[in-house]
Amino acid sequence: MKQTYAKLFSGVTLAVLLTLSSCQSPYKLTKIEGSMIIIDSVWDAQPDADALALLAPYKAAVDSMMYRVVGVSEMTMKVGAPESLLSNLVADVLRGAAAQTLGKPADMGLVNMGGLRNILSEGEITCGNIYEILPFENSLCVLTVKGSILKELFAAIAARKGEGVSGVYLEITSDGKLLNGTVGGKEIKDEDLYTVATIDYLADGNDGMKPLVQAEKRICPEEATLRGLFMDYVEQQTKAGKKITSSMEGRITIK
């Protein structure tokens, strides 16, 4: 019978005797010992040589991908309510990506601020930068909603003091109330249908976006992750000789 002992790099040692050959083994877990350790720069001073050697080929493969430069950002873009450069950009990418489903951009693009986990710094953009900004496996969903539901969505966005939007303009109060909202500069008609390009996480009603679950129609293209769409956008702009840019347009204003 083969025996396996596990030693964890965190400093927790398991006194475990396991068999790989039969679930009827007489061997049992006898003891677990552990202790708290502080993970700081001390651990970098004398790295474990065996661990480094084991990880080296994997690190080289990951680094070759993550450090690949895919574009250039014209400015530093951060995230913040009620509107920000980075959230505007990502919402624009989502709205434009709906063209693969609708044949044209969606009426509205929507992304949650909480899903954008880092800034986009001025200068070269690497694959690693994009993974840091968009670490989740969120995918594109194109929803068709009635105007009455879109108004409820606007109110939900106002209650959160703003999210990343594209194609719409909202006026909200400082305490999270909706004053006014338009799509493409036009007033919303309750019985008309509008398209919203967002991510599956929000389409499922998370982060307060419950009105989206009342969509008349929902299309989520396969393998259309937000990270992949953003990567494609950056590479396409780069191929066209353009830098990645964004602007503050008063998409959401506090009155």
pLDDT at 43: 74
pLDDT at 52: 85
Tell me, yes or no, whether 164 lies in a domain. yes
Tell me, yes or no, whether 239 lies in a domain. no
CATH of residue 151:
3.90.780.10
Which residue do the tokens 């690949």 mark? 68
Tell me, yes or no, whether 156 lies in a domain. yes
When pLDDT is cut at 50, 70 and 90, the band that residue 236 belongs to is: very high
Half-sphere exposure of 88 (CA within 13 A, CB side): 19
Tell me, yes or no, whether 73 lies in a domain. no
What's the CA gap between 89 and 166, in Å, rounded? 8
Phi, psi dihedral angles at 247 (to 5 degrees) = -150, 155
State the DSSP string of 126-180: EHHHHHHH--S--BEEEEEEEHHHHHHHHHHHHHTT--EEESEEEEE-TTS-EEE
- Cα separations (Å) of 172 from 93, 115, 161, 165? 24, 22, 8, 14
Residue range 213-242: mean pLDDT, rounded? 96
Pairing of strands 164-166, 108-111: antiparallel
- % of the chain residues with pLDDT over 90: 73
When pLDDT is cut at 50, 70 and 90, the band that residue 203 belongs to is: very high
Number of domains in the chain: 1
Tell me, yes or no, whether 56 lies in a domain. no
Residue range 227-235: mean pLDDT, rounded? 97
> Which residues have a Cβ under 8 Å from the Cβ of 189 and sit 6 or more positions away?
147
pLDDT at 120: 98
Domain extent at residue 201: 78-113+139-223+245-254
- Over residues 147-184, the pLDDT tens digits come to 999 999 999 999 999 999 999 999 999 999 999 999 99
Give strand pairing partners of 32. 14
What's the CA gap between 104 and 96, in Å, rounded? 8
